[in-house]
Amino acid sequence: MLTLGLGLALGAAFGALLQLSGASSHTKIVNALRLKDLTIMKLILIAIGVGLVGVHLLDLFGLANMKVKELYLLGIILAGVVFGVGFAISGYCPGTALAACAEGKPDAWVTVVGGLCGALVFAFMFPEIEEHLLVVGRYGPVTISGLIGIHGLWIAAPLGIVCIWLAMRLPEPGGA
């Protein structure tokens, strides 16, 4: 019960932040991908910068519950390409579509329905996909720091600062 409440609260905070910062707006996303308005890129970069430093500080004290995703070279690239096409066509990602649904955007509702169908089709295709595609270049859940063999903070701190710096350097909309 407590964990459900916590989930709902964190999710609500996430959804509210997406809404308030314009990440759930089709216009903002499409113009980011058209490289006309980089607000969303700036937002993602600073979120990653803060995340990198924070998560690895937690990890330094043994407090981070990490969950690293598996690397399978061919599959990950193909998946990213498919996702990217869907991202540009719909103008939403799986999370922001849900936020846009709640602000009364019917095209986001349809995106979510399409997403449920896509996820279901994938679920039934999974055995074949796993057998043929996920085996190519499969390395398990590897991280950069794990590969080199040092604590993540050594990479996360400078990389996080670079992300935040880059976020500040990218132009604001209206400048162009």
Residues 22-81 touching another protein, rule: CB under 8 A, are 22-28, 30-31, 33-36, 39-40, 42-52, 54-56, 58, 63-73, 75-81
Residue 45 identity (one-letter amino acid): L
Three-state DSSP at 139 gives strand
CB of 161 vs another protein, minimal distance in Å? 13
Nearest by Cα to 37 from 98, 101, 91: 91
CB of 136 vs another protein, minimal distance in Å? 13
Give the end-to-end CA distance of the chain in Å, rounded to a whole number. Answer: 50
Q: Given candidates 3, 131, 149, 169, which one binds another protein under the rule CB under 8 A? A: 3
Q: Given candidates 60, 122, 158, 161, which one binds another protein under the rule CB under 8 A? A: 122
Q: What is the DSSP string of 39-69?
A: HHHHHHHHHHHHHHHHHHHHHHTT-----PP
Which residues 79-108 are close enough to bind another protein by CB under 8 A? 79-108
CB of 135 vs another protein, minimal distance in Å? 14
Three-state DSSP at 122 gives helix
CB of 153 vs another protein, minimal distance in Å? 10
